[in-house]
Amino acid sequence: MTLPASLQNQDCFSIEDDKLHEECGVVGVWTTQDAASLTALGLHALQHRGQEASGIVTFDGHQFCTHRGLGLVGEVFADPQIIAKLPGGSAIGHNRYATTGETQIRNVQPLYGDFEFGGFAVAHNGNLTNAQLLKQSLVRRGCLFQSSTDSEVFIHLIAISLYTNVIDRFIDALKQVQGAYSLVALSKDMLIAARDPLGVRPLILGKLPQGKEKKSWVVASETCALSSMGAEFVRDIEPGEVIIINDDGIQSIKPFSNVANRFCIFEYVYFARPDSVIENKSVYMARKKIGAELAKECNVDADVVVPVPDSGVPAAIGYAAASKIPFELGIIRSHYIGRTFIEPTDQIRHLGVKLKHSTNRSVLEGKRVILIDDSIVRGTTSKKIVEMVRAAGATEVHLRIASPPTQYSCFYGIDTPAQEKLLAHTHNIDEMCKLIGTDSLGFISCDGLYRALGEEKRNNFDPQYCDACFTGDYPIPLTDHDKQLIKTK
């Protein structure tokens, strides 16, 4: 058994590259003033959903104003003059994680177009599975694509719709796309929010306490954005629901006949922020329960439970409490500037210098360690972490993973490597254990994960969540993708 390429050639600095990445976060604000500031604050709270680019479009009663840039929210909107040039009481915003590597400014959302009915801006979290097919038809028809994002088909579908009314056009467009989407959109008259019929990506509605003259509303990917914005939670937007917000209040439309709830289970495992609440479940509590379930399913005798920070912490707390093994911070993560800033010369590679993580020897030395991580993607991270922990004196290292093996790519808005790069697709657990170098390796079972989320078990005939990355059970057609390419093990 040779070492897979993914475990060779390891960059000596970062152990963070080997995570799945949420592709986007969205925010919408309908109030009387300062909409851009509020949107920026919301986007900042959703920074974990996309760190490569950010943008805001506002409407000030007369015109649409826009600013987009590459970088974190706090970088793109660092200059107060930028916010000052985004006046108005309504706004939408977007954080982006680029899947294709080409993070160009022309791909940064919100997308905007001058339509017959006026300006219209759209921000999209998710991924369309028939975008290529639609794009081909649209280009043949004479539509000019400015970006290389799948999201741009939305605005062209709206532009060419035969309906006259904005809402009708918007719904007309929704009915032609397949895939996962949580959308916010802004016209001069209204803020629109919509979720795909399976509700794969989260989207919630909140309320701003002020507003004598008119009610003030916000929509956002997660509840964690609400406190940033000083808003209160109202409710989740439902799968297949379209919400229209204007000065008359909120209108809810449900244009789809076939609606189910197949929320992305990985949002609970890793993507969402722990202080968010999704469909009445606290993400933090869900992770603790996953940890507890994991302890039940595959515990091992050990001295300490150590999370891989930061994402493994809640599961580790749950695991420690369930297993009665002490929880300790055995790995410390630096929170200063993330990007590699030193060119790795041979000497520096040889020295094995580390920028982001370091081990806390006092906790690890001479100990049998249970490491808790949320998932294994390529396995490169896990291998390095295990090496570091052993180098700090651990006598045994047992790796426990708070999700089932990730064997399938996601096509619904998460950046996963090609399937053949997924360690769990190409190797069984014993092989993985050997490659990673742990004394033992355990994953929570699929049913265990469902139990942690309050279900009795996975309903295999009508699953309660989208868990395609674990099961290959894709609930939305993958029209643009050759299904032959997705292999079962």
Interacting positions 429-488 with its own copies (CB under 8 A): none
Indicate whether 5 belongs to the interface with its own copies (CB under 8 A): no
Q: How far is the CB of 246 from its own copies (least distance, A)?
A: 20
Neighbours of 342 (CB within 10 A): 10
- Distance of alpha carbon 24 from alpha carbon 20, whole angstroms: 12
Place of tokens 């507890």: 292
Q: How far is the CB of 465 from its own copies (least distance, A)?
A: 19
- Distance of alpha carbon 24 from alpha carbon 304, whole angstroms: 36
Please provide residue 75's backbone torsions phi and psi, each rounded to the nearest 5 degrees.
Answer: -90, -45
Label the pairing between strands 53-59 and 281-282: unpaired
Q: Residues 7, 56, 73, 476: which binds its own copies (CB under 8 A)?
A: 73
Nearer to its own copies, 232 or 247 (CB): 232
Residue type, 70: L
Q: How far is the CB of 272 from its own copies (least distance, A)?
A: 12
Q: How far is the CB of 113 from its own copies (least distance, A)?
A: 4
Q: How far is the CB of 275 from its own copies (least distance, A)?
A: 4
Answer yes or no: is 298 a known binding residue: no
- Distance of alpha carbon 360 from alpha carbon 167, whole angstroms: 56
Closest CA to 224 of 22, 42, 92, 20: 42
State whether residue 126 is helix, strand or coil. strand
- Size of the residue set binding its own copies (CB under 8 A): 87
User: Does residue 12 carry a catalytic annotation?
Assistant: no
Nearer to its own copies, 393 or 472 (CB): 393
Binding to its own copies (CB under 8 A): which residues in 192-221?
208-210
Q: Which residues pair with 67 in a beta bridge?
A: 56
Binding to its own copies (CB under 8 A): which residues in 89-118?
105, 112-116
- Identify the active-site residue in 12, 24, 65, 433: 24
Q: With CB under 8 A as the contact rule, which of the stretches 198-206, 276-284, 372-380, 426-434 interacts with its own copies?
A: 276-284
Residue type, 111: L
Q: Which residues pair with 331 in a beta bridge?
A: 359
Binding to its own copies (CB under 8 A): which residues in 21-50?
33-34, 37-38, 40-41, 44-45, 47
- Distance of alpha carbon 42 from alpha carbon 229, whole angstroms: 6
Answer yes or no: is 373 a known binding residue: yes
Binding track, positions 223-262, relative to its own copies; x by CB under 8 A:
-x--xxxxx-------------------------------
Answer yes or no: is 374 a known binding residue: yes
Indicate whether 188 belongs to the interface with its own copies (CB under 8 A): no
Indicate whether 176 belongs to the interface with its own copies (CB under 8 A): no
- Distance of alpha carbon 374 from alpha carbon 74, whole angstroms: 27
Burial class (CB in 10 A: 0-12, 13-18, 19+), 149: buried
Neighbours of 8 (CB within 10 A): 9
Q: How far is CA 73 from CA 45, 69, 437, 467, in A?
A: 9, 9, 38, 30
DSSP-derived secondary structure for 383-410: HHHHHHHHHTT-SEEEEEESS----S--
Q: With CB under 8 A as the contact rule, which of the stretches 184-192, 234-242, 355-363, 479-487 interacts with its own copies?
A: 355-363
Nearer to its own copies, 275 or 301 (CB): 275
Q: How far is the CB of 260 from its own copies (least distance, A)?
A: 26
Nearer to its own copies, 73 or 449 (CB): 73
State whether residue 110 is helix, strand or coil. coil
CA distance between the termini of the chain: 17
Binding to its own copies (CB under 8 A): which residues in 302-341?
310, 313-314, 317, 321, 326-329, 332, 334-337, 339, 341
Neighbours of 162 (CB within 10 A): 7
Tokens representing residue 162 in the block: 């035969």
Q: How far is the CB of 122 from its own copies (least distance, A)?
A: 11
DSSP conformation class of 327: B
Q: How far is the CB of 426 from its own copies (least distance, A)?
A: 30
Using only the alpha carbons of the chain, give its radius of gyration.
23
Answer yes or no: is 264 a known binding residue: yes
Binding to its own copies (CB under 8 A): which residues in 132-171?
139-146, 148, 155-156, 159-161
DSSP conformation class of 331: E
Indicate whether 85 belongs to the interface with its own copies (CB under 8 A): no
Q: Residues 250, 253, 285, 433: which binds its own copies (CB under 8 A)?
A: 285
Q: With CB under 8 A as the contact rule, which of the stretches 257-265, 297-305, 358-366, 437-445 interacts with its own copies?
A: 358-366
Neighbours of 464 (CB within 10 A): 18
Catalytic residues: 24
Q: Which residues are annotated as a binding site for [4Fe-4S] cluster?
A: 264, 410, 466, 469
Q: Which residues are annotated as a binding site for Mg(2+)?
A: 311, 373-374
